[in-house]
Amino acid sequence: MDDTVIDREFAEAVREGLHQRPRRLSSRYFYDARGDRLFQRIMASPEYYPTDCEREILRERGPEIARAIVAGGVFELVELGAGDGSKMGHLLDALHAEGTAFVYRPLDISPHVLDLLAERLCPQRPWLDMQPWAGNYMDWLAQPRRPGVRRVFAFMGSNLGNFEPPADRDFLREIRDSMSADDLLLIGLDLKKSPEVIRAAYDDEGGVTAKFNLNLLRRINRELGADFDLDGFSHRPEYDPDTGAALSYLCSEREQRVRIDALGETFAFVQGECIRTEISQKYDDALIAELAAAAGFEVTADFRDRRGWFTDQLWRPIGPG
């Protein structure tokens, strides 16, 4: 570990999370280069339905979504947490087919993901004006707007479900407060469905999700000089159909102590003690309506896959911004 390259934000987040009871680590730190590759494998696994559901929506309903977007005039498409573009390409093509020029601004905390995005999208789309930005969404939102250009925000893949209440509403309100009256938000939300389907999505037979979860400890070892024994922790997913919360944990298989040199601290774990690493909220219509209203939006369009497992919706800001 080289002290000159320690990510202090990451280090302090780990310190704070491991001092909480129960212990928590943020899912935003899953995505180093290895984590990005593992998540690509998760999305390709047969159990992980959200990607296929949203891809179906954007492929089959993309022209309808595009017409609703371009109807408001000149715009730029700002995607928060862009991912690898395997789904968004369908919407970009539909928008291009409408004959309206636009800028595509993918924002992501991972530069590696943005590189993958460019490799996937740009060679087949010479017309695409893509201007990526690596960093925190809110830092980008603080920049001046382009005069006379609407913003159409895209927050796909049910990424909102990774926020806990009230952080989900706070995040949406920050987006809302950056919007003008004619801006739009295209948001993807994973819907409540059979608990067996949801549980399998976070505990695939190939064990890729477990590797993805454990990779967070591997990253802490590498970047913060820790000595987590990855064989001493196990991936444990849970789903509560009443609340719609799917949770992921890393649980200690034995009593053990972990030293983190960058923090100058040692953390003791008892057998069975867990670190919560992720929440993935599932929604129903009532929860969506309440969430949108609380954040200052109204739902203007609803596009679902054939099985009704996932929805991409257009939200319009209402009230003062």
- pLDDT 10s digits, 48-74: 999 999 999 999 999 999 999 999 999
Q: With beta carbons less than 8 A apart as the criterion, state whether 100 and 91 touch.
A: no
Q: What is the pLDDT of residue 33?
A: 87
Q: How many residues does the chain have?
A: 321
Please report how many Cα atoms fall inside a 13 Å half-sphere around the Cα of residue 192, on the Cβ side.
13
Residue 91 scores a pLDDT above 60: yes
Mean pLDDT across 207-228:
98
What burial letters (b/e) apply to 26-36, b meaning 16+ CB within 10 Å?
Answer: bbebbbbebbb
Q: What is the mean pLDDT of the chain?
A: 94
Give DSSP secondary structure letters for 44-74: HSTT-HHHHHHHHHHHHSHHHHHHHHHTT-S
Residue 24 token pair: 């928590």
> Which residue carries 């559901």 as its tokens?
53
Tell me the fold of 61-191+283-317. Answer: Rossmann fold (3.40.50)
Q: What is the pLDDT of residue 118?
A: 93
**Banded model confidence at residue 157, pLDDT cuts 50, 70, 90:** very high
CA distance 251 to 232: 8
CA distance 16 to 35: 22
CA 140 and chain centroid, separation = 17
Q: What is the pLDDT of residue 309?
A: 98
The secondary structure of the chain in percent helix, strand, coil, rounded to multiples of 5, reads 40, 25, 35
Q: Where are the beta strands (DSSP E) in 133-232?
A: 133-134, 150-155, 184-190
Q: What is the pLDDT of residue 4?
A: 53
Residue 313 token pair: 């919706």
Mean pLDDT across 278-296:
97
Q: Which of 105-114, 262-271, 275-284 has the lowest mean pLDDT?
A: 105-114
Q: Per-domain residue ranges for the chain? A: 3-28+196-281, 61-191+283-317
